[in-house]
Amino acid sequence: GGSAMAAVRDVEIDPEGTFKYILVRLQRPGGGEQRDIVRGTKAAEFHNHIFEKVNPEMEKLGYECKCLGGGKIEHNSKDKKIRVFGLSTGYGKADHSVTVEILKKVYTDYEITWSDDKK
């Protein structure tokens, strides 16, 4: 049912700084429900490090994961601003506009923008 999927948070990102992020699609095997989540952390040197952490967690909950691309997030908690930009060499560029919509669900009082800038 929806309970396991509801337990998965839409967004898990570092509270401050600039770091890599990926957009991940969760799907029940054989189709059915799916949703996209955002994961990002300074701890990840490469985008695949994030995916390698998320994937087993989600498989345990019964989801197949697909990385839809990546980029960078600049999170300024003091000014309540998030900027989404850049791309992942390995996974390609995530659709930052989708990422922004997901971020807005969680950071409701933030100014959230995106661009295709590399820096």
CB 72 within 8 A of CB 20: yes
Q: Which residues are catalytic?
A: 47
CB 99 within 8 A of CB 72: no
b (16+ CB within 10 A) / e for 90-114: ebeebebebbbebbeeebeebebeb
pTM of the complete model beyond 0.85: yes
20 a known binding residue?
A: yes
Mean pLDDT (10-residue bins), the chain, 119 residues: 72 98 94 91 97 96 95 98 97 98 98 94
| Rounded Cα–Cα distance for residues 103 and 89 (Å) | 22
CB 102 within 8 A of CB 11: yes
11-115 fold: Pyruvoyl-Dependent Histidine Decarboxylase; Chain B (3.50.20)
Residue pLDDT, tens place only, 75-88:
999 999 999 999 99
Strand pairing partners for 14?
none
Q: Where are the chain's structural domains?
A: 11-115
